[in-house]
Amino acid sequence: MSKPPVSRSRYEREKAARQAAEKLLEEKSRELYLANKKLEEQAINLAALVEDRTKKLTEALQQAQLSLKTMREAERQREESEEKFRSLIENANDFVFTLNLDGVFEYLSPRLTEVLGYRESDLLGQHFSVVIYPDDLVNCAEFFNRLITTLTPEAGLEYRVRHADGSWHWHDTNAAPLCDKENNVSGMLGIGRDIQQRKRDQEKLYQLANFDTLTGLANRSAILTRLRQELAHAKSKNTSLAVMFLDLNNFKYINDIHGHETGDKVLCTVAERLQSAVRDYTDAIGRLAGDEFLIVLPNIKQRSKAEKVVTRIRQSLAPAIEISQKHLLVGCSVGVAIYPEDATDVDALVSHADTAMYEHKASKLGDAVFYDFPSRQI
């Protein structure tokens, strides 16, 4: 017979239950520990992520603030530059203007209207030709067309402009092409100035360098330069040339008796009469010094032509010169040298004409003495 099952005591049951509970609690504690550890790791990772994101956001914000500051600084500098440029344009001695492709004014700086005297509305929308001297229009048009065709800056255009008061002034312009956003030429930007005073100064310097201040005739340097030019032309064209050396008679007496002021007036009258006796546009007269004059006669084919000029000169000087109710008689001695018969260079021609003049003064024969080169080779 089998034995009946032995029943556990209450103590054993409680012990088993307690052990099971402790095992379950241990397992749950371990699971909770692992969960907490994982949660801590996640928290650490999240904190690191948040810190990284925060750092990046902070850097991005700083960069944005820096960019905004840079943009504001750039805008401020741009505005300052524009203001400086505007001030420069409005206050500079030079004036600025723009023309469209049709040559019509589209912009005029205040300085331009200030210099010319026009109101802005007088010229805006007008073609540049309305203020350009007629004789200068061709050069101005060629300058403009060349610039917008070649797209190359141009400089040094000089032309005359009519100011609002009706006067004509010399102006100088440098220019560059204007292009649109597509880099297509749209017109011209010009920078100009009034150079009237500079032209006057240049004219004064030219007059001082080339003309006798008393008589207005060419001075010694200018008449010799003219002789060199005419001699070179005569050589290239195989033509003749006459040089006259003229000295006044009785001039020293007039100076000594009536004074240098009267003598100066006599020289001025003589200069006028000499100019009336020679051929316009071809012959040239210069005052060498004192009462000595040099006359250049280009393209003299025959000696008789030079003789006719000498005759007209002596006839022009024959009438008395009236100064302060005094009637003064002034004669002249004239020597003539011919290229190529007498000499082939400037110095020799002038020297031979001078020699012939002194022979005429000594002989007092005829209207003049010609330097006869062959007869002197004895």
For each of the domains in the chain, give its residue range(s) and CATH number, in order of start. 95-200 (3.30.450.20), 211-376 (3.30.70.270)
What pLDDT, on the 0 to 100 scale, is given for residue 74?
Answer: 67
Query: What number of helices (H) and strands (E) belong to the chain?
Result: 10, 12
Q: Which residues pair with 79 in a beta bridge?
A: none
What pLDDT, on the 0 to 100 scale, is given for residue 86?
Answer: 56
- From first CA to last CA, the distance across the chain in angstroms is 193
Q: Which residues pair with 328 in a beta bridge?
A: 321
- CA–CA separation, 194 and 197 (whole Å): 8
Q: CA quadruple 25, 26, 27, 30: dihedral positive or negative? A: positive
Q: CA quadruple 86, 87, 89, 90: dihedral positive or negative? A: positive
Q: CA nearest 241: which of 177, 179, 298, 318?
A: 298
- CA–CA separation, 297 and 246 (whole Å): 13
- Identify the active-site residue in 94, 291, 342, 354: 291
Instruction: Estimate the share of the chain in helix, then strand, then coil, as percent rounded to the nearest 5.
Output: 55, 20, 20
- C-beta pairs of 173-176 under 8 Å, 24+ apart in sequence: 173/143, 175/143, 175/144, 175/147, 176/147
Count of beta carbons in the 10 Å neighbourhood of residue 153: 12
Which SS3 state, helix, strand or coil, does residue 173 take?
Answer: strand
Q: Is 180 a catalytic residue?
A: no
* pTM value surpassing 0.75: no
What pLDDT, on the 0 to 100 scale, is given for residue 7?
Answer: 57
In the chain (378 residues long), the average pLDDT of successive 10-residue segments reads 61 80 78 77 77 79 75 68 55 80 92 87 94 96 94 93 95 92 90 92 90 94 95 94 94 89 93 92 92 94 88 92 89 93 94 93 82 52
- CA–CA separation, 295 and 278 (whole Å): 9
Q: Does an H or E element contain 188, and which? A: strand 185-194
